[in-house]
Structure 1
Amino acid sequence: MFNVTRKTRSLFFFLALGVTFYALIRLQPEGYKPPKRSFYIHDVNDGGEFVLHDDNLGIRMFAIVGSAWQSLSHQSVVTLCTQGNLDYMGNLPYLGSRWKGPMSIAIYVPGIDWDLTRMFVEHLNHCYPEMVSRTNYQLLPFPNSAPFSPKPDCRSSKQVLKEILSHRTAKHEEFIANDSYPYNIMRNVARDGVLTSFILMSDVDHVPNENIFDTLEDFIRQERILYGKKRAYVIPQYELNRTKGATIPRDKSELLELKRRNLSGTMYEEFFPQFQHCIKTKLWETINGTNESAEPGLAMQVNFSFSCEMTLVHKATDPYFDERFRGYGCDRFSQMLELYAAKFRFDVFTSLFFVHLGRKGLQDTKGHKPKKLAELRQNQKRMVTFIEDLNEKYQVNTCQMIGKDRAWMGVDVPWTVLHICPSITRPNQTQH
């Protein structure tokens, strides 16, 4: 365990995940479901650095806990969860500047990235103490590295990160590029570091509108009946044309002004319109106040559509992400499909949104790389067995539900759905 100063222990709570012997994930048999992790963060009133053990998986996790995280979690009802590897950590200051509540962040740290990740953690600790004080990070595995004290550097986090990443070797870069990122394991680890009743799961390169934490706190506290309901709440996702200087909008009016000037658009709308189709963003953009037919703070009910991926707010006890999905494709959607099979209702917030920082511009729509295509096809095969498991778990016919509901969505059925559910026909076909 690191020897840390009182100042460091009181400043930040950092939760990051790396996987012990990374092959542990890559070499599991198809359909493998790991046992629930046995470590959990508790009794950390003053924050600090801890080593947590998981006897089931034979791993050790290094956790850094912010001084205000536990008390703030007990005062709040919702925590923002996110995950990523070192390459995306430069987005954290943007995220932390908008989200003012507790955060749980899982960072993927394969052993070769350990020292570089610690360097950037020290940068955050020194330059963003308020954000770090209410944040929970975990790094796994814990390699017993010697502590170090890099020179404080509070320039742009993006620039600091770029210089840190320059220390990667060519072999290091090849490992990162060829590995299949464990998205759903990371999301679940971030969830395990939550003390509140509700969670908001987002990606680390997504930034919300201002005052989102206060808005969600007020909404959930006023809607106490939600605690006993199968409900999930949707936040639309947009992206910016940053090549033309678009800045992150503070509220919905600024977002719509950027859209009018062709500086923002629905996420992935050019090359994968199904991604946000179920949210009906064109209708959402016209609703300024509460829709008369919806509950206060909500614009409308969202109707599930296969391949539609939503940023959700829901109870922390709701279904986790299925960890059989690794790499690109079907990973986040797997949880939404399970919520659908469990007959959850989805409603979209009137004024909340996220902006994706990952792409450089609205026209950045290059095709998938061979590695992503290979991961997608493998996950599509996993989706077949996943649907079978859902049918057994909830005693439903998931394909039949999709076939019934998709017709009035006005969107064609992706070929992936036809492969997984061959009984579903396209709109211009007749079922025999």
Structure 2
Amino acid sequence: MAAELQSFMARRGAKPFMALILISCFALFSRYYSFDTNTSHYRRALFYRNDSSLQQGQFNSHFSWTDGNGGIHQLPIETVLSKSFSLSSYSEQSQIIPYYYKAELNLTGEDITIVTLVTRNRIPNLARLATQYQGPISTTIHISDDEEGEYTLDILQQAMERNAAMRKFVDVHVVRDEFDRELNLWRNVAKLFARTEYVMQLDIDFFPCTNIRQSVLNNPKAMNLLRSGEAALVIPAFEYSKQEEGLDYRSFPKNKPDLVKQYTDKEVEMFHSFWLPGHAPTDYERWTQQEKDAEIYPVTSYQFSYEPYVIFKNQGSPWCDERFSGYGSNKAACLYELYISGVDYYVLPNDFIIHQTHAYPDEARNVERYYNRRLYTQFREEICIRLARRFIAQKKWDHPKSENLREECASIKPYQRAIGRFV
């Protein structure tokens, strides 16, 4: 073989042969790595399921800790993730890849990370959000285990290459499996890997028209509420009365006076005004009638279908219940548990978001809403009893922190029967 190689090189010359070798190596390298000069780091392509070496390399990551005697212990990260998300459809075929893209700007500590979800057709929304927000964003993107998933990653990479704000501010975490619309699982992944003390729960279809981040960070009252861990700040949400007028975010009002004028003229309205429990407790009449120098005010008429967009302390806050799959009640469940765990809601007086109009898959939503409504009734009973037992065990049953639970859960009959055994 060596003699044949020497003969070939003698006939053809060494330079063409070496060029062929270099081209082959480069092709192999580029298959498994992509490099963006603007992000100054490599992105490992983890999505070649048939390549045993890559799959082996991916599962070599471990969660490690040291015991009191200095002994080192490890668990495969996949085991940790399967336990972390055990209530969802997460299975041995699922893959969660944190920081598939990691933001250049290492914003940590006392800052506010937007926690959101993105699908392929909403990637332009993510780019707009990053450009407008100019702060940390932690997003989960779900992809299927096929060529469509690969295509989604290609679209995402193109967006990252084009948009400097995405490269600077956005951490992207990938969930890859065949389970669609696991919305609360995806929310939890984005929240888990958020790198700041506070998070803003936001749907990707909303556009922040004001500088919410700086408004909160520079407001001593807002920051004291967040630091307490017992308050969440509500961002009033609006949509255009004529849906076609909400297509272009560039036409949205950029300050409260302009927004209030459109509200008064009935051009914009409370988001999903057809379903009053969803956002009415924010008290839009009070909000629109306040002057510019108005103060933060508390939500006084909470009810269990309330699902505002909120900012709250990340550490110690509840996780979204992952049994909710598909549309309906999933976000309400997150916010219900947050509320009865002892977190009160307060409304920001000058900031707002507006929904960017898009089509809804109504048939799928109707079926999923039906089953999630039934689950939500059971969930409320369970969470009331579970948290009540926690407050009692911690000797906080008569503490102000349990007041939300005692008031909100009092109307649930199974809870009433059960609580008498504990108190």
Q: What's the TM-score once normalised by structure 1's chain length? A: 0.67
- 1:189 is matched with 189
- 2:268 is matched with 264
Whole-Å Cα distance in 1 between the matches of residues 384 and 215 of structure 2?
A: 36
Q: Does 1:65 align with 2:101?
A: yes
Whole-Å Cα distance in 1 between the matches of residues 231 and 222 of structure 2?
A: 15
- 2:304 is matched with 306
Q: Which residue type is aligned with residue 380 of structure 2?
A: I
Contact kept? 1:300, 1:347, Cα under 8 Å: yes
**What is the deviation of 1:197?**
0.8
- Deviation per residue, 1:192-245 (Å, 9 max, x gap): 111211100100111112321211222369734642341111111111235247
Contact kept? 1:13, 1:137, Cα under 8 Å: no
Q: Does 1:100 align with 2:134?
A: yes
Higher helix share: 2
**What is the deviation of 1:54?**
2.2
- 2:170 is matched with 135
- 1:286 is matched with 289
Whole-Å Cα distance in 1 between the matches of residues 219 and 313 of structure 2?
A: 13
Cα–Cα, structure 1 residues 375 and 260, in superposed 2: closer, same or farther, change >3 Å?
A: same
Whole-Å Cα distance in 2 between the matches of residues 124 and 217 of structure 1?
A: 29
- 1:315 is matched with 313
- 2:370 is matched with 377
- Deviation per residue, 1:90-118 (Å, 9 max, x gap): 21122122211111010111223322212
- 2:244 is matched with 243
Q: What's the TM-score once normalised by structure 2's chain length? A: 0.68
- Deviation per residue, 1:89-147 (Å, 9 max, x gap): 221122122211111010111223322212211221221123322110012339xxxxx
**What is the deviation of 1:337?**
1.2
Matches within 5 A, 1:121-132: 121-132=156-167
Contact kept? 1:239, 1:355, Cα under 8 Å: yes
Stretches of structure 2 that go unaligned for 5 or more consecutive residues are 1-30, 50-61, 65-75, 83-91, 390-401, 417-423
Contact kept? 1:302, 1:348, Cα under 8 Å: no
Stretches of structure 1 that go unaligned for 5 or more consecutive residues are 21-37, 41-51, 143-174, 361-365, 406-419, 425-432
Matches within 5 A, 1:38-49: none
Q: Does 1:401 align with 2:398?
A: no
Q: Which residue type is aligned with residue 97 of structure 1?
A: T
Q: Does 1:338 align with 2:337?
A: yes
- Deviation per residue, 1:294-325 (Å, 9 max, x gap): xx5x1443431121211111010211111111
Contact kept? 1:239, 1:264, Cα under 8 Å: yes
Contact kept? 2:341, 2:387, Cα under 8 Å: yes
Cα–Cα, structure 1 residues 194 and 10, in superposed 2: closer, same or farther, change >3 Å?
A: same
Contact kept? 2:210, 2:255, Cα under 8 Å: yes
Contact kept? 1:287, 1:299, Cα under 8 Å: no
Contact kept? 1:84, 1:107, Cα under 8 Å: yes
- Deviation per residue, 1:244-295 (Å, 9 max, x gap): 47722212122122223432111111x212211111111111112354xxxx
Matches within 5 A, 1:154-233: 180-219=180-219, 223-224=223-224, 226-233=226-233
Secondary structure, counterpart of 1:111 in structure 2: coil
Whole-Å Cα distance in 2 between the matches of residues 191 and 109 of structure 1?
A: 18
Whole-Å Cα distance in 1 between the matches of residues 275 and 321 of structure 2?
A: 23
**What is the deviation of 1:339?**
2.1
Which ranges of 4 or more aligned residues in structure 1 deviate by more than 4 Å?
A: 11-14, 396-400, 420-424
Whole-Å Cα distance in 2 between the matches of residues 353 and 11 of structure 1?
A: 36
Secondary structure, counterpart of 1:197 in structure 2: strand
- % same residue: 19
**What is the deviation of 1:11?**
7.3
Matches within 5 A, 1:341-420: 341-359=340-358, 369-395=362-388, 401-402=407-408
CA RMSD, 1 decimal? 3.6
Q: Which residue type is aligned with residue 257 of structure 1?
A: K
Cα–Cα, structure 1 residues 220 and 105, in superposed 2: closer, same or farther, change >3 Å?
A: farther
**What is the deviation of 1:350?**
0.2
- Deviation per residue, 1:314-345 (Å, 9 max, x gap): 01021111111111111000021112222321
Partner residue of 2:122 out of 59, 63, 88: 88
Cα–Cα, structure 1 residues 423 and 73, in superposed 2: closer, same or farther, change >3 Å?
A: closer
Q: Which residue type is aligned with residue 5 of structure 1?
A: F
Range that drifts further, 184-193 or 120-129: 120-129
Cα–Cα, structure 1 residues 332 and 127, in superposed 2: closer, same or farther, change >3 Å?
A: same
Whole-Å Cα distance in 2 between the matches of residues 184 and 333 of structure 1?
A: 11
Cα–Cα, structure 1 residues 180 and 353, in superposed 2: closer, same or farther, change >3 Å?
A: same
Whole-Å Cα distance in 2 between the matches of residues 197 and 98 of structure 1?
A: 21
Secondary structure, counterpart of 1:181 in structure 2: coil
- 2:3 is matched with none
**What is the deviation of 1:6?**
5.2
